[in-house]
Amino acid sequence: MNDLLRTAELTVIGQVTTASNATLVCETDPEQTGELLRVVYKPVRGERPLWDFPDGTLAGREVASYLVSEALGWGVIPETVLRDGPFGPGMVQRWIEVVEDEAGPDLVDLCPVGEIPAGYREVLRALDPAGHPVSLVHAEHPQLVRMAVLDVLINNADRKGGHALAGIDGRVYGVDHGICLHTEPKLRTVLWGWAGEPVSDELLTDITTLVKALPGELGGQLAAHLTDAEIEALEARGRALLQAPVMPMPLGPRPIPWPAF
Ligand SMILES: Nc1ncnc2c1ncn2[C@@H]1O[C@H](COP(=O)(O)OP(=O)(O)O)[C@@H](O)[C@H]1O
Ligand SMILES: [Mg+2]
C-alpha cells in the first residue's frame, strides 16, 4: 500500500455533493510528498447515524470490507485506511480516475428493453420517468463477478450502479462499503445478473483462503472495526458459499437499492 495514504497531510479540495454523508475529496501537496495523491475522505464525525447499523462506524466497515477484498486477493476495493484527517478520524481511500466514455454503456446502465448491449446482462425491467420501458443492465466483466461475490460475502446493503467504477487503469473498482458486514441478511445490489449461477472454482479457492484466515490475523484486524458476531457471520457466509457454490437469488422485499445509481 502507498504509505502516503496513511501519513501524508490532506487538503480538502471538494465535496461529493450527491453523497449522503460527508464525503470529501482531498489531495496531498506534491511539494511535500513528491507525488500528488487524491483520496476520498469520510470523517466519522460526518456520519449520519443509522438505526440498523448501531455498532462501530461506517468508516470502520469500509476498512473492514477492503481487508476482506485484499484477503481474497481480488483488489476490488481501492486501498482504504482509517486515519486522522482535516475533520478528525475517518476513512481515507485512494481516488480512482474513471474512464469517461460518453458513447458506450457504463458498467451498470439503463437501456431500452430488447437492446441489451453485447456482453451485458439484464437485471430488471422498469419504466423510466417518461414512461418508456427500460432494462437495468450490467457488464459481464470478470472483475464485476468478483464484486458480486464479494458483496455476498460482505453482505453489502447498498451496491448501487454508481458504486462500480471503471478505472482508467483498465480495472473495475467498487466503492462505498459503509453499510456492509451486518449479521443479518441485507444484500441489496444491482449486480443480480449471475443469480442462480455457479461460483467458479477459482473464486472458491480464494474464498477458502479467506475463511481459513478469519480465525487468525485477518480476524484480529477486523476486530478493530466489527463485532465478534459480525466476524462470525462473515465466516458463516463464506462457509455457506463453499458448501453451496451458487450465487443467491434476489430475496426479501427490496433486493435492489433505490435509487439504483
Ligand atoms: N475511491 C473513489 N474513487 C473515485 N470516486 C469515488 C471514490 N469513492 C467514491 N467516489 C465517488 O463519489 C460518489 C459518492 O461516494 P460514496 O462512497 O458513494 O459516498 P456516500 O457514502 O456518501 O454514499 C461515488 O458514487 C463515486 O462516484
Ligand atoms: Mg454512495
- In sequence order, what are the residues at sequence separation of 6 or more whose Cβ sits closer than 8 angstroms to the Cβ of residue 194? 121, 145, 148, 247
Cell matching residue 46:
460526518
| CA–CA gap between residue 109 and residue 126 (Å, rounded) | 13
Give residue 128 CA to ligand 1 midpoint distance, Å: 24
Measured over the CA atoms of residue 205, residue 211, residue 216 and residue 218, the dihedral's sign is positive
Check pocket membership of 15 for ligand 1, CB cut-off 6 A: no
Domains in the chain: boundaries: 1-95
What is the model's pLDDT at position 138? Answer: 98
- DSSP secondary structure code for residue 195 in this structure: T
CB-count exposure of residue 123 (10 Å: 0-12, 13-18, 19+): buried
Element (H, E) at 92: strand 88-94
Strand-strand pairing, 108-112 and 38-43:
unpaired
CA 200 to chain centre: 20
Vertex 184: Cα angle to 165 and 201 (nearest 5): 55
The residue whose CA is least distant from atom 8 of ligand 1 is: 175
Check pocket membership of 21 for ligand 1, CB cut-off 6 A: yes
Atom number of ligand 1 nearest to Cα 78: 1
Helix (H, G, I), strand (E, B) or coil at 156: coil
Beta-carbon count within 10 A of 103 CB: 4
Beta-carbon count within 10 A of 184 CB: 8
- DSSP secondary structure code for residue 29 in this structure: -
Vertex 191: Cα angle to 187 and 195 (nearest 5): 80
> What is the residue-level pLDDT of the chain in tens, covering all 261 positions?
668 999 999 999 999 987 678 999 999 998 988 889 999 999 999 999 899 999 999 999 999 999 999 999 999 999 999 999 999 999 999 999 999 888 899 999 999 999 999 999 999 998 888 999 999 999 999 999 999 999 999 999 999 999 999 999 999 999 999 999 999 999 999 999 999 999 999 999 999 999 999 999 999 999 999 999 999 999 999 999 999 999 999 988 889 998 899
Atom number of ligand 1 nearest to Cα 18: 14
Q: What is the CA radius of gyration of the chain?
A: 18
Cell matching residue 50:
443509522
| CA–CA gap between residue 124 and residue 107 (Å, rounded) | 15
The residue whose CA is least distant from atom 27 of ligand 1 is: 162
pTM for this predicted structure: 0.96
Query: Do residues 155 and 178 lie in contact, with contact meaning Cβ atoms separated by under 8 Å?
Result: no
The residue whose CA is least distant from atom 22 of ligand 1 is: 19
Ligand closest to CA 175? 1
The residue whose CA is least distant from atom 23 of ligand 1 is: 19
Query: Do residues 108 and 96 lie in contact, with contact meaning Cβ atoms separated by under 8 Å?
Result: no
Helix (H, G, I), strand (E, B) or coil at 159: strand
